[in-house]
Structure 1
Amino acid sequence: MATLTVWKFDSPDGAEGVERKLIELQKQELIKIQDAAVVTWPKAESKPKTKQLNNLVGAGALSGTFWGMLFGLLFLMPLLGAAIGAAAGALGGKMADVGIDDAFIDEVKSKVGPGTSALFLFSEDAATDRVREAFPGNHAELVRSNLSADAESKLREVFAN
C-alpha cells in the first residue's frame, strides 16, 4: 500500500531539491514513487504554484483531478464561491479513503504558506535510512501522513536524527 506523506520545507525551492534526489533514489530502487506533487510558494506571491510529477511514474500515477481537488481544498477554497465549496466538501469526503480528512487539510493549510514549499509524496518500499539522506538537515518537516500513529512516530524519529 502506498503511503502519503506531506513534507514542508523552509524555502520555496526546498521541495524541488528533494524531488530531484528522490528521483535518483528511485533509479537505485531505494524508493518506489507512485505519484507526487510539489507546491512552491515564493514570499512575493499571493498563492502557490503546483506541479504534478506524473512524468516520473507513468501509468500508476494519480490523476491531475486528484491533485487539483487536493490543492483546491488546501489553497484556493477561500477564493471560490459557496456552491463550489459545498461540491468540494463532498469530493473531499472521498479523499478520506487515502488518508486525507479535514484534520489533514487543516494542518497542511496552517503550515504551508508564503516563503515555503511542500512535497506531497505517494510512495512505497522506501529504504528509510537511505531516503533520509535526500532531506536537508533540519529544513524538512513531516507535516502529515496517512500512516498509523505508531508508524508516523517512528518515521518522525528517523527523520529527526
Structure 2
Amino acid sequence: MPAPLRPAARQRARGFPGRADTAVIQRQKEISVATLTAWKFPTPEGAAQVEEALLSLQKQSLIQIHDAAVVTWPADRKQPKTKQLHNLAATGALSGTFWGMLFGLIFFVPLLGAAVGAAAGALGGSLADVGIDDDFIASVRSEVEPGTSALFLLTSDAVVDRIHETFPAGSAELIRSNLSKADEAKLREIFED
C-alpha cells in the first residue's frame, strides 16, 4: 500500500486540479482488491488453531474476511478433510460449491487420473477466469501434503503481514493469488449463496 502523501506532496497535488482526486481513486482501487490466500501449516491441526485469532482481528475491524476454509491432512490419511469456516465468513460468503470445486481441483483430481483430468481442465479454466490460475493450484497442491494443514482466506483490506503476525512464529507459509474487483465479482456471480 502506498505511503500517505507528505505535506509538501499534498500541497503540490492541491495545486493541480484532479491530481489529488486521482490519487484517492487509485488508493481506493488498491484497497478494494480481494485476495485469496492459502497459508500452509506444518501440522494437521495448525490451520484450525488460528481461527480465533483471525476472528479477533476481524472484530477489531483490522481485516475483512469474506470467506474462509480449512484443509486438514493427517499423516495417515490418503486425502485431506475440508471445512468451510462459517463463523469467519461475512454475509454474502461464497457457497460450499466454490470451496468444493477448488479443493477438488487441488487435492482430488490428481487421484482420479486422466479420464477426469480433461473435465477438470475445463473447471480449472473457469477458475482462471476469476484470477485463480494453474500456478496457484499447483503451488498449493505441491505444498499441502499429508501431515500438514492449510487455511484459505478470501479477504479485502487485509494486510498480509498483519494476518501472518497472528500465527505462532514460523508456523505458516504463504501462497497468494490476488483477485481484481472484476475477478471477485465474477467469483461471487458464479458461487455466491
Fold match by TM threshold 0.5: yes
1:12 equivalent to 2:44? Answer yes
Q: Deviations for 1:59-79, whole angstroms, at most 9, x for unmatched residues?
A: 321111111111111111133
1:74-93 to 2 correspondences below 5 Å: 74-80=106-112, 82-93=114-125
Larger Rg: 2
Secondary structure of 2:91's counterpart equals helix
- The residue aligned with 1:131 is 163
User: Alpha-carbon deviation of 1:127?
Assistant: 4.8
1:5-154 to 2 correspondences below 5 Å: 5-80=37-112, 82-128=114-160, 130-146=162-178
Aligned Cα root-mean-square deviation (Å): 2.0
How many residues align? The count is 148
Structure 1 residue runs of 5 or longer lacking an equivalent are 149-161
TM-score (norm 2): 0.70
TM-score (norm 1): 0.82
Contact 1:31 1:125 in 2 (8 A): yes
Give runs of ≥4 in structure 1 deviating > 6 Å.
none
Structure 2 residue runs of 5 or longer lacking an equivalent are 1-32, 181-193
Identity across matched positions, percent: 68
- Separation (CA, whole Å) in 2 of partners of 1:113 and 1:8: 10
Tell which has more relative contact order, 1 or 2 (C-alpha 8 A, sep 6+). Answer: 1
